[in-house]
Each structure stands twice: as structure tokens, then as C-alpha cells.
Amino acid sequence: MDGTLIASNDAHAQAFIEAARRVGLDVPPYEEVRRLIGKGGDKLIPEVWGIPSEEGKGKELSSVKGEIFRDRYLPNLQATPGARALLEQFRDDGLKLVVATSAKEEDLKHLLKRAGIEDLIEGGTTASDVEDSKPDPDVMHSAVNKAGLEPTEMLMLGDTPYDVEAASRAGVRTVAVRCGGWSDDDLSGAIAIYDDPADLLSRYSESPFGSAG
């Protein structure tokens, strides 16, 4: 979702920086946080600040970050180019659309609305549904179960190396997009890479999704 269908990765990183400043933690370089966006907060907070995410300052940081993101950034986020048109193509081809994200459930609803795609998604799995966030495969296992399919019958559309790793560990192939900010080398485990949803749609018939349809 984040970075793939809505341009939110930079906003998540900036919200973490601002939250750290507000709760009195060391403020790391923006780039250190940005490269970890795509992991859940349960992974990112210990890695950057060296503290657990579910207690004390870590829990406070997570809460304040969420508030900042929802209040300051979310209202201005835009869908990535071609996001809705691509999902409409998926729907027309009879593909089942399930979101697999490390975002919290309350944030996912708002993200889907901002991206203008809430009516196209048939189900979703969030941080609330799993014990360990990406790049652990839990979120993908949950998505597979909700879809009622085998992993080999599914394709993951993602934008981070953590998406690729999580999907691979769950036995799901990934089609990646560069609009989340990662290079082709970072996304090397994907079976195909496109600039953004619009680029994928423009070459849809030759893509793994077109072949699946």
C-alpha cells in the first residue's frame, strides 16, 4: 500500500523524525529512517533507536508518530500514478485484491480513501493481524489465508525490499515498482520491475499480471 499505491514513504520517515524530537529521543539522520520505511514500527524503532517498540519511550514514539502522520501528512497524500486504473484492470480481469501492509488498521482505512481505491479492495491484512511485521512473512501468510488461495496462485505488488523478502519467504512472487524510492538492485528479488502503476498498466499484457489474467 504505502509507496506502491499512495506516495507516503517520505511522510512516514518525516513523521518518525518529528516524533523522536517531540518525545525527547535522539534525532537520527532522515536517510537512516527513510531506508527502513516498509518495515513495521516493531522492527524500525529497535533498529534505529535501540529500544523496544511496545513499552516506554518506544511505545510513546510509535503513538506520537502515528498522530503526526495522520494529522499532518495523511490529508495531503496522493495516489501514485495510475494506481486506481491499475486496480480497475485487475478487477476487470477477475483478480482478487487483498492489501498486505505493516500499517495499522486505523491508518489503512484512511490510506485507501486518500488513494481513491477503497471500493476496489476485497480484503486486507494489517499490523493488527500479525505478530511480526515485514520483512517477516506473517503479513503475507495472513493475506494468502484471507484470499483463500495458494501462495503460488498469488502475486505481490510492492515497492520495498521488505515487500520482496516477506513475499518470497511466504512463497509468493513479487512484481515491484520504483515509485517507493528503491533501486532495481534493492528490488532484485522481484520477477519484474516497473516505474509505477501507470508504467505497469501501459505494459500490462506483457506483465506477469497480464499473463495471470
Specify whether the CB–CB gap between 195 and 178 falls below 8 A: yes
> What pLDDT score does 71 carry?
97
pLDDT value of position 212? 61
Nearest Cα neighbor of 192 from 166, 155, 165, 146 is 155
pLDDT at 4 (0 to 100): 97
Q: What is the pLDDT of residue 213?
A: 52
**Ranges of the chain with pLDDT below 70:** 212-213
pLDDT computed for residue 126 by the predictor: 75
How many Cβ atoms from other residues are within 10 Å of residue 106's Cβ? 12
- Rounded Cα distance between 213 and 74, Å, is 33
